[in-house]
Amino acid sequence: MTGPQPETLLPSKEPVRFLTDTGAEARGRSAYERPGPELLRRAYRGMVIGRRFDAQATALTKQGRLAVYPSSHGQEACQVGAALVLSDGDWLFPTYRESVALVARGIDPVEVLSLLRGDAHCGYDPGRHHTAPQCTPLATQTVHAAGLAYAERRKGTGRVALACVGDGGTSEGDFHEALNFAAVFKAPVVFLVQNNHYAISVPLDRQTAAPSLAYKGVGYGVRSERVDGNDPVAVLAVLSAAVEHARSGAGPFLVEAHTYRLEAHTNADDASRYRSEAEAEEWRRRDPVARLEVFLRGRGELTDEDVAAAAAEAEEYAARLRERMNADPELVPMGLFDHVYSAPTAQLDEQRAMLRTEIEAEEALS
Ligand SMILES: Cc1ncc(C[n+]2csc(CCOP(=O)(O)OP(=O)(O)O)c2C)c(N)n1
């Protein structure tokens, strides 16, 4: 029997944390290295802008400017952490929930939102940003990430892939196939499981009987860890170590981040039907933005001016986004058929012909 000893794969007994719920320094030493002030300050700025972006996107659904928006309010530490631990050449594989991670990666927010506006399958150039299109079928992106990471390993580029997946997504077959493949072929991929406790209305205890989602990695021989997903310091520390592990050739790494989705699943969902306000209130007390602010201020690494500057930048960002989203884009309906397959299927050709006929009939009327 070869392969790693199980003890080397197991997550910490408690989720890794550097901060208390209120942002003080947590007791005890961590096996992970605390990120330096420069990275933490960047994370703070990214989270403030990300939260403002999220609120603006939600408002745009109410104005009918956006068809749907899955909020990641409350999950900013994971979202911004995922973007900040990757270098430009690394690959990010997001789900529909990851809009804040995409803007933190520096992608134009209007391009990020064009999928959710219904204008395109993907509004940004995945090749340019090394970021896959946001995936709606659950866990499919984990297979793509494992395959791409394996290709990068074969090519010897030193690049890694980071795949985001939700707690619900870990029940999908694709997730298990991706873990198995990545472990056997030592694909340099990090699986970031954002356990936000609900898959739409399905709570975690109906999703898994495992001691924690991190144990799903152990069974496949994948080094796994749990982290307080609302502690930005811990998220950055653990994700950085996970990326380093993958980049060094040691194989995949699974991080389960314990977090909470404070808003409904999307604007089309009513969260009060399946969870209590008291529960959400508990999690509001562990707000990742406030925790990091308290911590950095306490160390003299964030000043009143820094906080005001981040808030002003976020307002400016939202105002510009609002303005640009209020303009009607010029759409090319036939473009929907581009980039679906490298060689179109007969069914796709048929659909394309049907749409062309409809457009021509409409043009003939006008
Ligand atoms: C393969 C598949 N099955 C079902 C759905 C419908 N669906 C969309 S979101 C969702 C819940 C996902 O929950 P989770 O993975 O925890 O992610 P979260 O939305 O909480 O970020 C479901 C079942 C889907 N998109 N894809």
Q: What pLDDT sits at residue 2? A: 72
Looking at the predicted structure, is the pLDDT value of residue 254 above 80?
yes
How many whole angstroms from 91 Cα to the centroid of ligand 1?
22
Q: Which amino acid is at 294?
A: V
Proportion of the chain above pLDDT 90, given as a percent? 94
Please identify, by atom number, the ligand 1 atom nearest to the C-alpha of residue 170. 15
Q: Whose CA is nearest to atom 11 of ligand 1?
A: 199
How many whole angstroms from 174 Cα to the centroid of ligand 1?
13
Angle, nearest 10°, between helix axes 76-84 and 37-62?
A: 120
Q: What pLDDT sits at residue 340? A: 87
Residue 4: pLDDT band by 50, 70, 90 thresholds?
confident
What average pLDDT is seen over the chain? 96
How many whole angstroms from 78 Cα to the centroid of ligand 1?
18
> For residue 113, what are the CA distances in angstroms to 66, 124, 174, 321?
8, 9, 26, 10
Q: Whose CA is nearest to atom 17 of ligand 1?
A: 166
Catalytic residue (choose from 121, 215, 247, 274): 274
Q: What pLDDT sits at residue 366? A: 85
- Between 330 and 110, the higher pLDDT residue: 110
How many whole angstroms from 95 Cα to the centroid of ligand 1?
9
Choosing from 79, 138, 141, 216 the residue with most ligand 1 atoms within 8 A of its CB, the one to mutate for a pocket test is 138
Tell me if residue 274 is catalytic. Answer: yes
Catalytic residue (choose from 17, 197, 261, 286): 261
How many whole angstroms from 142 Cα to the centroid of ligand 1?
14
Please identify, by atom number, the ligand 1 atom nearest to the C-alpha of residue 165. 15
Ligand 1 pocket by Cβ (under 6 Å): 97, 136-138, 166-169, 172, 196, 198-200, 261, 265
φ, ψ (nearest 5 deg) of residue 86: -95, 145
Q: Which amino acid is at 187?
A: A
What does pTM read for this prediction?
A: 0.97
How many whole angstroms from 35 Cα to the centroid of ligand 1?
32
Tell me if residue 285 is catalytic. Answer: no
Q: What pLDDT sits at residue 130? A: 98
Choosing from 54, 97, 200 the residue with most ligand 1 atoms within 8 A of its CB, the one to mutate for a pocket test is 200
Tokens 């999307």: give the residue. Answer: 266
Burial of 55 (0-12, 13-18, 19+ CB in 10 A): middle
> For residue 300, what are the CA distances in angstroms to 32, 176, 294, 305?
23, 45, 10, 12
- Per the document, the length of the chain is 366
With the C-alpha atoms ordered 243, 249, 250, 252, is the resulting torsion angle positive or negative? Answer: positive
Please identify, by atom number, the ligand 1 atom nearest to the C-alpha of residue 261. 20
Q: Which amino acid is at 295?
A: F
Task: Give the residue-averaged pLDDT of 257-261.
Answer: 98
Tell me if residue 261 is catalytic. Answer: yes
Greatest C-alpha distance within the chain:
74
Tell me: the pLDDT tens digits for 34-65?
Answer: 999 999 999 999 999 999 999 999 999 999 99
Torsion region of 229: left, alpha or beta (phi above 0 gives left; psi -120 to 50 gives alpha): alpha
Catalytic residue (choose from 45, 117, 265, 291): 265
Q: What pLDDT sits at residue 6? A: 87
> Tokens in use for 252?
């995949």
Tell me: the pLDDT tens digits for 278-303?
Answer: 999 999 999 999 999 999 999 999 99
Tell me: the pLDDT tens digits for 148-207?
Answer: 999 999 999 999 999 999 999 999 999 999 999 999 999 999 999 999 999 999 999 999
How many whole angstroms from 167 Cα to the centroid of ligand 1?
9
Tell me: the pLDDT tens digits for 314-327?
Answer: 999 999 999 999 99
Q: How far apart are CA 95 and CA 79, in angstroms?
A: 11
Q: How far apart are CA 244 and CA 211, in angstroms?
A: 26
Residue 27: pLDDT band by 50, 70, 90 thresholds?
very high
Q: How far apart are CA 173 and CA 178, in angstroms?
A: 9
